[in-house]
């Protein structure tokens, strides 16, 4: 990131650049300030990151801008309220601080909204936060345009130099930019437990691979790393990336200088079970590719939780797929699996047909079926359609899937195009 100066410059750029977006439409990209999107909850800590480069006053400026996106109206949240996070950000930011690193036991400073907040604690104790505004002319409840920056902190009435809290916050339109600037006063983006040894990270192919793949292990500072493949013993000492040529489970462990060990980190990487070539002749939805055509025959079947990314999605179109087995093979059964999640517009196909060919040009119907599960059944369902092939030998298999079509009333998306979600095509 270029050190503190480079990191600060990237934050400045993010908040000041154009809010224009390109590519696919994403519902969570709302509440824009530059390229910062308050509607995208994983971004909620970002305004507070200026604290980590000694610029808490910049954090305060951005927090107030984001806070002003909220309105006391039915549609007053600047994004989708996922499990309360949109409101939780506002509550913390109105108090004047935020848990950037929840396990660290401290909070990063922002800008209090209220002149005084009292939080009841155990044994009748009270944690009090007061905003001591330097410019008395400004409204005591809502700070003026410049009166948002934390200029200093007081703890039990005494100066407190760290930009993390239990405190009185002194607000000023012209902050002391040297406050909390020294490195030793900045919060740290780490959680330290004396007896805890962090495990290494294992990096490998995201999706099943064909012939070979490279695995590397990201070691923890001050630790050496041991790893094992498929539970082998003894474990090996890691020194450099290594190649895998089959489905394997890799485990790795950190050992610090005192001999303390982390828990084992585990990752499984899958090799494609066949050398088949897959041609998808229909446009896949760019948000639901499952990694590409190989996902349809990778031997990994998705469950009803389609958000994990194992399913391919096709909206408003039938699906046509051709599989080249590489040579003429004996065919016994042909199957394909589909998903239905009615509220998400994902509906089982109305019918499927398998065709078989020896030359890739002349095809003969090998299997056909329709399915009768009602489209308006609301629970998530997975179905496998298929059966015995009427063609016993073939090199090429074509699958044609008929889309349900336009969603019908009383579906809330009536008039919209339904999706086909397919995961695994099985040829036995």
| Cα 280 to Cα 367: distance, rounded to the nearest angstrom | 19
Tell me the longest C-alpha to C-alpha distance in the chain: 88
Distance CA 317, CA 420 (A): 8
Our measurement of the distance from residue 23's CA atom to the centroid of its chain's CA atoms, rounded to an integer in Å, reads 18
Q: Which residue has the higher pLDDT, 113 or 168?
A: 113
Mean pLDDT, residues 125-149 taken together = 53
Confidence of residue 169 (pLDDT cuts 50, 70, 90): low
Backbone phi and psi for residue 388, each to the nearest 5 degrees, phi listed first = -70, 140
Beta partners for residue 333, in sequence order:
388
The pLDDT of residue 62 is 94
pLDDT at 168 over 60: no
Task: Give me the chain's average pLDDT, please.
Answer: 87
pLDDT at 162 over 60: no
Give one DSSP letter per residue of 71-117, joined into a string.
-SSTT-SSS--STTHHHHHHHHHHHTEE-SSGGGS--EE---SSSEE
**Taking phi first (over 0 means left), then psi (-120 to 50 degrees means alpha), and beta for anything else, what does residue 400 get?**
beta
Examine the pLDDT at 141 and tell me if it is beyond 50: no
Is 80 exceeded by the pLDDT of residue 393? yes
pLDDT at 307: 84
* Cα–Cα distance measured from residue 311 to residue 304, given in angstroms and rounded to the nearest whole number: 10
25 Cβ neighbours under 8 A, 6+ residues apart: none
**What pLDDT is recorded for position 242?**
97
Q: Residue 81 — pLDDT band, cuts 50, 70, 90?
A: confident
Report the candidate in 55, 59, 61 with the shortest Cα–Cα distance to residue 181: 55
Mean pLDDT of 163-192: 66
Taking the whole predicted model, whether its pTM rises above 0.85 is answered as no
Model confidence pLDDT, tens digit, residues 362-382: 999 999 999 878 877 777 899
pLDDT range class, residue 273, cuts 50, 70, 90 = very high
Look at residue 147 in the predicted model and tell me its pLDDT: 47
Encode pLDDT of 284-299 as tens digits: 999 899 999 999 999 9
Cα(425)–Cα(428) distance, integer angstroms: 10
Q: Which of 146-150, 179-183, 299-303 has the lowest mean pLDDT?
A: 146-150
Q: CA-CA distance, 321 to 399, in Å (whole number)?
A: 5
Joined together, the tokens standing for residue 306 give: 């389609």
Domains of the chain plus CATH, in order, are 3-185 (3.30.2080.10), 201-269 (2.60.40.10), 277-427 (2.60.120.260)
Sheet with 333-340, strands from edge to edge, namely 312-315, 419-427, 333-340, 381-388
Percentage of the chain lying above the pLDDT 70 cut: 88
The confidence score (pLDDT) of residue 165 equals 42
């Amino acid at each position: 990131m270029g050190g503190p100066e480079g990191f600060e410059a990237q934050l400045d750029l993010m908040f000041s650049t154009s809010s224009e977006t390109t590519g696919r439409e994403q519902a969570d990209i709302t509440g824009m300030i530059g390229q910062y999107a308050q509607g995208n909850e994983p971004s909620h800590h970002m305004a507070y990151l200026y604290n980590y480069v000694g610029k808490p006053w910049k954090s305060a400026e951005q927090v107030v801008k984001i806070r002003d996106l909220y309105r006391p109206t039915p549609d007053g949240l600047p994004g989708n309220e996922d499990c309360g996070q949109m409101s939780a950000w506002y509550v913390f930011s109105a108090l004047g601080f935020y848990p950037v690193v929840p396990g660290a036991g401290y909070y990063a400073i922002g800008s209090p909204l209220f002149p005084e907040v009292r939080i009841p604690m155990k044994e009748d104790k009270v944690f009090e936060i007061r905003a001591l505004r330097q410019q008395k002319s400004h409204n005591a409840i809502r700070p003026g345009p410049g009166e948002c920056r934390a200029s200093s902190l007081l703890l039990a009435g005494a100066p407190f130099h760290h930009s993390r809290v239990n405190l009185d916050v002194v607000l000023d339109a012209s902050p002391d930019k040297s406050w909390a600037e020294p490195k030793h006063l900045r919060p740290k983006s780490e959680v330290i437990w004396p007896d805890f040894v962090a495990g290494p990270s294992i990096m490998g192919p995201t999706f099943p691979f064909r012939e070979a793949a490279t695995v590397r292990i990201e070691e923890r500072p001050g630790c050496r790393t041991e790893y094992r493949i498929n539970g082998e013993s003894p474990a090996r000492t890691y020194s450099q990336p290594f190649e895998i040529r089959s489905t394997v489970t890799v485990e790795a462990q950190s050992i610090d200088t005192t001999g303390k060990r982390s828990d084992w980190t585990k990752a499984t990487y899958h090799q494609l079970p066949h050398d088949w070539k897959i041609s998808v002749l229909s446009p896949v939805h760019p948000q639901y590719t499952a990694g590409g055509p190989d996902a349809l025959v990778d031997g990994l079947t998705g469950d009803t939780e389609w958000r994990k990314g194992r399913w391919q999605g096709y909206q408003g179109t039938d699906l046509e797929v051709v599989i080249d087995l590489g040579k003429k093979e004996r065919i016994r059964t042909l199957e394909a699996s589909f998903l239905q999640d009615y509220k998400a517009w994902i509906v089982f196909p109305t019918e499927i047909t398998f065709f078989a060919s020896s030359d890739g040009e002349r095809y003969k119907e090998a299997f056909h079926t329709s399915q009768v599960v009602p489209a308006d059944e609301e629970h998530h369902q997975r179905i496998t359609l298929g059966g015995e092939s009427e063609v016993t030998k073939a090199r090429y298999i074509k699958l044609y899937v008929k889309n349900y079509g336009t969603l019908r009333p009383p579906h809330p998306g009536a008039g919209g195009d339904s999706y086909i979600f397919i995961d695994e095509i099985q040829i036995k």
